[in-house]
Structure 1
Amino acid sequence: MKRFLAAAATVACLATPTLAADGVVTYETDDSFDDVVFGLENAIIDAGLVIDAVSHVGDMLERTKGDVGSTVTIFEKADVYSFCSAAVSRKVMEADPMNIVFCPYGIFVAQQPDQQVMIGYREFPEGPMQEVQTMLDTITRAAIGLD
């Protein structure tokens, strides 16, 4: 039993959910950035979804920091994966066509200097959009082996 509790505590420390900022759900992990990205790509595909775009936010911020008069490195690496689900999107937009504002959905993977890798997504409002939030949480957790 002690071994089980120690193993459970180790897993909990390796990937823990936190609220990084108001309205953002994040999980931190000791996995490498590349491993988390690989896991995320597979989790999206395994959910039967197609990645629409990958925004390399970290590269852009680093490349342009001098252009905007900064010397601060915000992220070692940071990418945002955009995708949609035809079935879930139709369901939430039939409930309220203005839910279009949330599509496509995004999950980010980021690593700040000297920090663990984090993966996360924005929270969605109560009601029909909670189905999207559940989908994103399932994909996010699968990406880091918490499924």
Structure 2
Amino acid sequence: MKKLVLAGAFALATFPAFAQEHSVTYAFEGSFDDAAFAVESAILGRGLVIDWVSHTGAMLERTADAVGSDVKLFEEADIFQFCSAQLSRKVMEADPMNIAFCPYGIFVAEREGDVMIGYRTFPEGPMQEVQAFLDEIVQEAMQ
């Protein structure tokens, strides 16, 4: 049962919430490709490894008919997933259940011609350090 709960928490943790109270988003002045390159560069420039790039926009477009929808949510949307070994260890030593938040994700999305970069928010406590870290990466990508 514990494994099932942890697996569910992991699945939910890796799915970004676009509702404003669950995410921080910034408008990006430039193309989707430029924003994606900037985010990738900011992550890699810190010596981090990108574990996975989820092409969420392409998946939503590809599966629209299968789920009976004709709504185009994004022109493009990717989520860059990664971890910081040092920061992850720190927050998990504070509370091992913070594993539910790893890997961390920064999304880049284009909707109706507007490009945005963002990340989901985290609960008060040790995870606020992760949120600040993600914001630093996003701010670097925004420049």
TM-score, normalised by the number of residues in structure 2? 0.85
8 Å Cα contact 1:43/1:143 also seen in 2? yes
Name 1:45's counterpart in structure 2: 44
8 Å Cα contact 1:49/1:85 also seen in 2? yes
Segments of 5+ residues of structure 2 without an aligned counterpart are: 1-17
Name 2:91's counterpart in structure 1: 92
| Structure 1: 4+ residue segments shifted above 2 A | none
8 Å Cα contact 1:29/1:117 also seen in 2? yes
Structure 1 or 2: more helix by fraction: 2
Per-residue deviation at 1:80? 0.5
Map 1:1-147 onto structure 2 (within 5 A). 21-114=20-113, 116-145=114-143
Segments of 5+ residues of structure 1 without an aligned counterpart are: 1-18
Deviation string 1:38-62 (CA, Å, 9 cap, x unpaired) is 0001000111110000000000111
AA aligned opposite 2:112: P
AA aligned opposite 1:30: E
Whole-Å separation in 1 of the counterparts to 2:22 and 2:66:
30
Larger gyration radius, structure 1 or structure 2:
1
Deviation string 1:100-137 (CA, Å, 9 cap, x unpaired) is 000000000001123x1001001111111111011100
Structure 1 or 2: more strand by fraction: 1
Deviation string 1:21-44 (CA, Å, 9 cap, x unpaired) is 112100012211000000001000
Whole-Å separation in 2 of the counterparts to 1:20 and 1:118:
13
AA aligned opposite 1:110: A
Higher relative contact order (CA 8 A, sep 6+): 2
Size of the aligned set, in residue pairs, is: 126
